Amino acid sequence: MDNMQITHEIENQCCVKRGVKGVPAPIPQEGEWTKCKEIKDISGLTHGCGCCAPQQGTCKLTLNVKNGIIQEALVETVGCSGMTHSAAMAGEILPGKTILEALNTDLVCDAINVAMRELFLQIVYGRTQTAFSEGGLPIGAGLEDLGKGLCSMVGTIHSTKQKGVRYLSLTEGYILELGLDKNDEVIGYKFINLGKFMEAVKAGKDYKEAYEKNISTYGRYADAVKYIDPRKE
């Protein structure tokens, strides 16, 4: 900078040439070892998690970055109703920004901001999911993490000392019934895959048919001696 200010003491010093300049340590990026000097040198797909100050909710953020620019963002939140609306806004804000811009942009919710911070650190240090994948992953790869039906994989379990555990939601879907053995221990459950159910309904299937077709069981559900609705019993 031509207008950079220098103190009088430094102005009057003689010049000493710099010998060892040092270079950036190479980081693994999409199948290459890159000596990154600028934001545009950064690429990769990875995930980061963050929570808000009162820790009422958390965010899992997935970004696909190419040449320093965020090309794809997947924002998943849990635990706070307001976070879902914040995620909607963050989803509009993030694509097209450099990761440095995104780091210094208000992403509406603290949990999303913290996730962005943690994710930024992973990306610039080369700790990405695609570190050793040649060419990285195509735009849209982040969406594939959701699987069929495009629903976040959410686990919701509630338990008390007095009454024991209740499975409410697991990766497979919304839990309809728990199967208990003769000792009243959970040995399996019945669930509905909400993503597949909604896809069937949108495709024109009858609600009842779509509902029954997407119900499955897990574990030794058929061997249970007692079945309970985890939300009512």
Mean pLDDT of 175-202: 94
89 by Cβ neighbours in 10 Å (0-12 / 13-18 / 19+) ranks as middle
The answer on pLDDT for 169 being more than 60 is yes
Distance of CA 59 to the CA centre of its chain: 7
Model confidence at 1: pLDDT above 80: no
Residue with tokens 């610039």: 124
Are 142 and 61 contacting, i.e. CB atoms less than 8 angstroms apart? no
Q: Show the CA angle centred on residue 193, arms to residues 192 and 195, nearest 5°.
A: 140
Using one digit for the tens of pLDDT, what is the confidence trace for 44-59?
999 999 998 888 889 9
Q: Tell me, what DSSP letter sits at residue 39?
A: G
Spatial CB neighbours of 119, under 8 Å, sequence gap ≥ 6: 46, 47, 48, 61, 63
Residues 164 and 180: beta-carbon distance below 8 Å: no
Residue 204, both tokens:
């024109």
Residue 119 clears pLDDT 70, i.e. is over it: yes
pLDDT at 12: 92
What's the confidence (pLDDT) of residue 184?
95
Mean pLDDT, rounded, of the chain: 92
Distance CA(168)–CA(103), nearest Å, equals: 35
68 pLDDT higher than 80: yes
Residue whose C-alpha is closest to residue 194's, from 175, 221, 222? 175
The confidence band for 29, taking pLDDT boundaries of 50, 70 and 90, is very high
Local confidence band at 74 (pLDDT 50, 70, 90 cut-offs): very high
| Reported confidence tier of residue 151, pLDDT bands at 50, 70, 90 | confident
